[in-house]
Amino acid sequence: MKRKQIVISTIGTISPLGIDLDQVTAALTAPPRQAVVEAFEFHSFGKPVPCFKITGLDPVTILGKKGLRNKDNATKLLLSAAELGFKTLMEESPEERRPGLCIGTAFGSVQSIGDFLSDSIVNGVNTVNPQAFANTVINAPAGNANIRYLARNLSSTISTGFNSGLDAIIYAFDLLQRGYLEQIIAGGLEEISYYALLGCMRSGILSPSGVVRPFADDSDGIVMGEGCALFLLEPAETAQKRGAVIQAEIAGCANGFDPAPGGGETSDGSVFKQVVQTACAQAEIDPGRIDCVASGGSGNRAGDSLEAAGITAVFGSDTPPVTAYKSFTGECYGASGAIGVLCALADMKKNRISGIPTAPYATTSPLRPVFGGVDATIRHLLVSSFSCDGNCSAIILKKVN
């Protein structure tokens, strides 16, 4: 049987770039918006840490007060993004055909897990609020969204580090191809948590300067970001039937794992190449037909050189324009891939490529990333990620007329 044509239609998002596609489009032409964090409930850094934090979000105005009392910030962020994007769709779908949910997250509920433990260390194991335990499972945010919308057909959570958002979309794509259900809301979620920030600091990958410089020779690390981007994935005819705006088709997608980098070796990019080729084969195109690559370039030099090795392995010397949306958003971990897809949809719609929003800097990367905004006709766009751990993911978005 022929592969189903799966499209992205409705969007729900909250990130420092905004709360809908128009705001994201505008944000991609403006300087990045940064903020700082310093103290959390149980711990403090004792100094401001630069990051791309969502500011001014009040979940109660979006969600109402009901049901939020014991929910953590990751859950409130997911529920808020879902409410903005999918409330009507959920309410209008008959229960037996209501969309499923599939959420990618790297650290998931680590703030709740860490706080639960910190509370039990500081105040004793017999004083912690039992309701707080419910937040500690990584699938808690997704489950809370299922509860809010009485969505009983699927609740899944994917956690593959930086690639979680892309892999959640790939997983949802596969379940739709299997015919298990008709519509899935898939995407990525990550909150800035004390524990993830601390982990990055101790691992030495956080940028001391707080400036994101993907592929720069002198880049000094990542800046943590947060956000949530969700997409309704459905067959094209389903979207057409309900009169939905189709943002793009997911023409092909694949993931894999390169064992080399995590073992301390450099990669020849062959696994990344094979992943992109699988996605291209599904899309029935040659890699040469890809007009733009939305890379996972983040300012982590090890990661950026992997990404460069992979992209070079696919395209050789004839690399299409490469951008790195993380220069606008920071490293949003599990949300990164989904926010990358969101930015790509905004660019495809405007026929432009939003390059790195700073003055061009020195780079000996073979990729020659795009700086500033440039006009471009994009028919096929590759959103990719090659993580330091070795995860390789690729999604090819195709413009739909």
Partner 1 sequence: MNQEAIKTAIRELITDIAEDMDLDEAKITDDALFIDDMGLDSMALLEVLATMEKKFGVSIPESEFPNITSITKCATTVEKYLAEKGA
Partner 2 sequence: MLFMSKKRVVITGLGLITPIGCGVDTFWQAAVRGENGIRPLRNFDASEHRTKTGGEVLDFNADDYLLKAEQARMGRSGQFVLAATKMALEDARIDLSQCERSRIGVSMGTTMGEPQVLEQCIKIKYAANDAEKIPSTLPRQYPCASIPANIARHFSISGPHIMIPTACAAGNYAIGYAYDMIQLGRIDAAIAGGSDPFSGIAFTGFNRLLATTPDIARPFDKNRSGMAVSEGAGILFVEELDAARRRNAPIYAEIRGYGLGCDAFKMTIPDPSGSGGIIALKKALDHSEVTPDSIDYICAHGTGTIENDKTETVIVKVVFGDRAKAVSMSSIKSMIGHTMGAASAIEAAACALMLKHQIALPTINYTEPDPECDIDCIPNTARSMKLDTIISNAYAFAGNTSSLVLSAFKG
Site for partner 1, rule CB under 8 A: 65-70, 123, 126-131, 134
Intra-chain end-to-end CA distance of the chain, in Å? 25
Site track 136-175 with partner 2 (rule: CB under 8 A), x = hit = xxxxx-xxx-xx-xxxxxxxxxxxxx--x--x---x--xx
Query: Which residues does residue 352 pair with via DSSP β-bridges, in sequence order?
Result: 375
The verdict on 199 binding partner 2 (CB under 8 A) reads yes
Compute how many other C-beta atoms are within 10 angstroms of the C-beta atom of residue 392. Answer: 27
Q: Which of 86, 195, 231, 315 binds partner 2 (CB under 8 A)?
A: 195
Written as one letter, the residue type at 227 is G
β-bridge partners, 391: 257
| Residue with smaller CB distance to partner 1, 139 or 305 | 139
Sign of CA dihedral 41, 162, 56, 206: positive
Question: How do the residues of the chain divide into helix, strand and coil, expressed in percent and rounded to 5?
Answer: 40, 25, 40
The beta strand positions in 159-204, using DSSP E, are 184-190
Distance CA 175, CA 184 (A): 9
Binding positions for partner 2, 79-108, rule CB under 8 A? 106-108
65 contact, one of partner 1, partner 2, none, CB 5-8 Å limit per kind: partner 1
Conformational region of residue 49, where left means phi above 0, alpha means psi within -120 to 50, and beta covers everything else: beta
127/364 with CB nearer partner 1 = 127
Q: Which does 143 bind (CB under 5 to 8 A by kind): partner 2, partner 1, none?
A: partner 2
User: Which of 348, 369, 316 lies closest to 21, judged by CA?
Assistant: 348
Q: Which residue has the tokens 């920071």?
A: 330
- Per-residue contact string for residues 26-45; x = within reach of partner 2 by CB under 8 A: -----------------x--
Output 343 or 396, the one with its CB closest to partner 2: 396
Contact positions with partner 2 (CB under 8 A) in 380-399: 389-391
H-helix segments, 284-370: 301-315, 326-329, 336-350
Measured from the CB atom, is 291 or 389 closer to partner 2?
389
Structure-token pair, residue 17: 């770039």
Q: Between the CA of residue 349 and those of 260, 346, 356, 389, 392, what are the distances in Å?
A: 37, 5, 19, 33, 26
Position 295 contacts partner 2 (CB under 8 A): no
Nearer to partner 1, 61 or 126 (CB): 126
- Nearest approach, Cβ of residue 25 and partner 2 (Å): 31
Contact call for residues 252 and 282 (beta carbons, < 8 A): yes
Taking the complex as a whole, the smallest distance from the CB of residue 157 to partner 1 amounts, in Å, to: 21
* Chosen from partner 2, partner 1, none, partner binding at 198 (C-beta under 5 to 8 Å by type): partner 2
Give me the 240-259 binding string for partner 2, x by CB under 8 A, dash otherwise: --------------xxxxxx
- Which C-beta is closer to partner 2: that of 181 or that of 246? 181
CA 306 to chain centre: 19
- Region from 78-86, 127-135, 223-231, 356-364 binding partner 2, contact rule CB under 8 A: 127-135
Residue 200 binds what, of partner 2, partner 1, none (CB under 5 to 8 Å, by partner type)? partner 2
Of 2 and 66, which CB lies nearer to partner 1 in the complex structure? 66
CA dist 214 to 5, 65, 150, 383, 394, Å?
34, 40, 41, 15, 19
The answer to the question of residue 182 lying near partner 2 (CB under 8 A) is no
In the bound complex, what is the minimum distance in angstroms from residue 292's beta carbon to partner 2?
25
Of positions 31, 94, 204, 243, contacts partner 2 by CB under 8 A: 204
Question: Strand, coil or helix: what is 166?
Answer: helix
Q: Of the two residues 128 and 248, which places its CB atom closer to partner 2 in the complex?
A: 128
Count the residues of the shown chain that bind partner 2, applying the rule CB under 8 A. Answer: 78
Backbone angles phi, psi at 383, to 5 degrees: -100, 120
Of residues 212-231, those binding partner 2 (CB under 8 A)? none
The reply on whether position 134 binds partner 2 by CB under 8 A is yes
Cβ–Cβ < 8 Å for 73, 56: no
Based on the shown chain and the rule CB under 8 A, indicate whether residue 66 belongs to the binding site for partner 2: no
- CB-based burial, 357-374: b 16+ in 10 Å, e otherwise: beeebebebbbebbbebe
- Kindly state the smallest distance separating residue 278's Cβ from partner 2, in Å: 8
Q: Which does 295 bind (CB under 5 to 8 A by kind): partner 2, partner 1, none?
A: none
In Å, the largest CA–CA distance within the chain is 62
